[in-house]
Amino acid sequence: MLRYVVRRLLLLIPILLGLSILVFLWIRALPGGPAQALLGERATAQSIKQIEHQYGLDKPIHIQYLRYLQRVSRLDFGDSVTTRRAVSFEIRQRFPATVELGLSAMLFAVLLGIPLGFVAAKRYGGVVDNLSLVTSLLGISIPVFFLGILLKYVFSVKLGLLPTVGRLDPLIEIDHPTKFYVLDSILAGNPTALWDSLKHLVLPAIALGSIPLAIIARITRAAVLDVQNEDYVRTARAKGLAPRVVDIRHVLRNAMLPIVTIIGLLVGFLLAGAVLTETVFAWPGLGTWLVEAIKSRNYPVLQGGILFVALIFVLVNLLVDISYAILNPRIRLS
Amino acid sequence: MSIAETEARQLELEGPSGLWGEAFWRLRHNKAALAGFALVATFVFVALFAPMIAPSDPRAQDLSLIREGCCPGPSASHWFGVDALGRDELSRVLYGARYSLLIGIVSVIVGLSFGIVLGALAGYMGRVVDTVIMRLMDIMLAIPGLLLAIGIVAMLGPGLFQIMIAVGVTNVPIFARLLRGSVLAQRENDFVLAARAVGVPRRRILVSHILPNAMSPVIVQGTLAMATAIIDVAGLGFLGLGPQDPSTPEWGTMLTDTVRFLQTAPHLAIIPGLAIVVSVLGFNLIGDGLREALDPKMRGRA
């Protein structure tokens, strides 16, 4: 077990190094050159020279790379061109919003998707089964941002039930120790704030979670269908175990394995899809931050943002692999 | 008998043989796949013949129609209504199919060609080549798809061609991985060993023997990649990174500004979006049908 973990951690290093090289080269491929990229539009010939000296851009490329690596490992991504604040600071401001949205979307997808897939498999060929197949298909065919727009139209514009943009009604004032608005409302003991932040969270979470929902439902259904026919399930039933016990202890448990494998994939999707969902709902997370950065050619932000997201993604995949090894003894012992 | 078994029995009785024959038979009898095929055929037809079907020029503005603010909905003269600059929405949606088709095809071709070459090389050459190529693919896959595309667009600048390339590049590691797996599986087959024993050069073996057999997952993935390409490019267009000329009738770009008008002119947002959904649904249905049809596990089970 430990050997597996260590092996996976060691594999992580070349990938992270490779990523850093990729981004390093990418900054140098940007129009205008890296000094211009770091300064933005306010670059004058003199300030360019200054930046070049400061960042060692006049030195040979391997020395540049080493210094870049040093800075990045300290999570120093430079300063945002538009706000002049440290990129790492802005990441810390924006990241919780995206995490809150992503977690809610994932929760929605899992809480709805697994039961749906399970019931669909148990009643193969029935109404629920066909419904789940249609839902899955639609789920992956509707672009996330279009679903967001539709939900907004139905629930905010036409029915007026839910708010259209943002995380919280600007008139409600609470402290934000964790920057997770739902958590902060609970900590502040403010039920109005809690209700309001939840209302703001619902539509974006559903829009973002639609595709993971579709995928999870499908995979659960396929996994349960497969597991149902396995010998050990037949044995459990023959033993006389209550159907519900068989379902939960044997069928569901083993069907969960394929789902764990794709969680990594889903997190990657959530990180990418958040960009679109946040734009539709004006959610102040990493997504909107990156989109603004592209439009304003804010390359330090882009560099830091992309590296950070990739890092998170790689770490999540590592955790998923490790937990899969824990859950599946065959991998652990191989 | 299970469904697979009844189908296999039917196949035995009715008779096409071989992977492709059986697959085609299965496909023809799969209602969902047929529906998908109908949708895609409509999409391609509209894309090809848009100039002849569309009632007006998609870029022709008629500002008199929006004198009283935005925007008149569906009417007799404009079946889908009119957009914020007085352009006929129906024509714009029809022409939009051309862009989506073009985008889908180019992106998939870019991803496919590089992906196949890299994957085949990695799978067949093995060892160092394999490790290097796969590490590179892993690094590319470490950045979630849309963000990778955004990074590429940042490097190339915004524009229609650039987003096609960006989405194409994000497809490369997927196809490479797929093909490598396929080639690895084929490599140990008897006919390959036989060819090598006779002295057929490695290159010939790869091209004439291995690749044709490794194609089926690639075809399935190709159709699904077409679906995701259309969605991804629409997404990039929606973010404003696509064609910079706002008069371009690309579906994603058409959706960008419509969020403001949801109250007064919801049709501007809903119709292009539905067009995207319908086309993508078609490709997904076909891709699923193909996957089931080509699944070797279902072949000849009695």
| Interface mutation target, options A21, A24, A30, A146, chain B, most CBs of B under 10 Å | A146
- Average pLDDT for chain A: 82
Contact B238 A276 (CB under 8 A): yes
Query: Which among B234, B258, B288 has CB closest to A143?
Result: B234
Contact A143 B280 (CB under 8 A): yes
CB-based contact, B240 to chain A, within 8 Å:
yes
| pLDDT band for position A42 (cuts 50, 70, 90) | low
Residues of A in Cβ contact (< 8 Å) with B135:
14-15, 18
CB-based contact, B229 to chain A, within 8 Å:
no
What's the farthest any 2 CA atoms get from each other in chain B? 80
Would you state the pLDDT for residue B280? 93
Q: Which helix (H) or strand (E) holds B114?
A: helix B89-125
Residues B242-265: pLDDT tens digits? 887 777 888 888 888 777 777 777
- The residue type at B180: R
| Interface mutation target, options A149, A151, A221, chain B, most CBs of B under 10 Å | A149
**8 A C-beta contact, residue B272 and residue B216:** no
Average pLDDT over residues A148-158: 86
Q: φ and ψ at A296, to 5 degrees?
A: -100, 15
Query: Which among B135, B147, B240 has CB closest to A18?
Result: B135
Highest mean pLDDT out of A18-22, A135-139, A252-256: A135-139
Would you state the pLDDT for residue B13? 60
Query: Which among B155, B258, B262 has CB closest to A29?
Result: B155
CB-based contact, A154 to chain B, within 8 Å:
no
Would you state the pLDDT for residue A293? 85
Interface of A with B in 251-290 (CB under 8 A): 268-269, 271-273, 275-276, 279-280, 290
Report the C-alpha gap between B141 and B180 in whole angstroms. Answer: 15
Interface of A with B in 157-186 (CB under 8 A): 157
**8 A C-beta contact, residue A92 and residue A83:** no
The yes-or-no verdict on residue A209 having pLDDT over 90 is yes
CB-based contact, A309 to chain B, within 8 Å:
yes
3-state secondary structure A120-131: HHHCCCCHHHHH
Nearest Cα to A136, choosing from A102, A113, A153? A113
Lowest mean pLDDT of A9-23, A159-173, A214-228, name the range: A159-173
- For tokens 């989506």, name the residue: B100
**8 A C-beta contact, residue A93 and residue A84:** no
Query: Which among B144, B154, B259 has CB closest to A294?
Result: B154
| Interface mutation target, options B132, B143, B285, chain A, most CBs of A under 10 Å | B143
Would you state the pLDDT for residue A227? 83
Burial of A109 (0-12, 13-18, 19+ CB in 10 A): buried
Nearest Cα to B238, choosing from B110, B131, B146, B117? B146
CB-based contact, B2 to chain A, within 8 Å:
no
Residues A212-240: pLDDT tens digits? 999 999 888 888 888 888 888 888 888 88
Residues of A in Cβ contact (< 8 Å) with B151:
26, 302, 306
The yes-or-no verdict on residue A105 having pLDDT over 90 is yes
Nearest Cα to B100, choosing from B154, B181, B167? B167
Q: Cβ of A265: how many Cβ atoms within 10 Å? A: 17
| Interface mutation target, options B244, B254, B259, chain A, most CBs of A under 10 Å | B259
Contact A276 B235 (CB under 8 A): yes
CB-based contact, A315 to chain B, within 8 Å:
no
Report the C-alpha gap between B141 and A166 in whole angstroms. Answer: 31
Per-residue confidence of chain B (302 residues) as pLDDT tens digits? 567 777 666 656 655 556 667 777 777 777 888 888 899 999 999 888 888 887 878 787 777 766 666 667 777 777 777 777 778 888 888 888 988 899 889 999 999 999 988 988 888 787 888 888 888 888 888 888 888 888 888 888 888 888 889 999 999 998 998 888 888 877 777 777 787 788 878 777 777 777 777 777 888 888 989 998 999 988 888 888 888 777 788 888 888 877 777 777 788 888 889 999 999 999 999 888 888 777 655 444 32
Would you state the pLDDT for residue A104? 93
Contact B235 A141 (CB under 8 A): no
Rounded to 5°, the CA angle A209-A210-A211 comes to 95
Would you state the pLDDT for residue A205? 93
Query: Which among B235, B241, B288 has CB closest to A294?
Result: B241
| pLDDT band for position A106 (cuts 50, 70, 90) | very high
The encoded tokens of residue B44 equal: 């391609």
Q: CA of A267 to nearest chain B CA: how many angstroms apart? A: 9
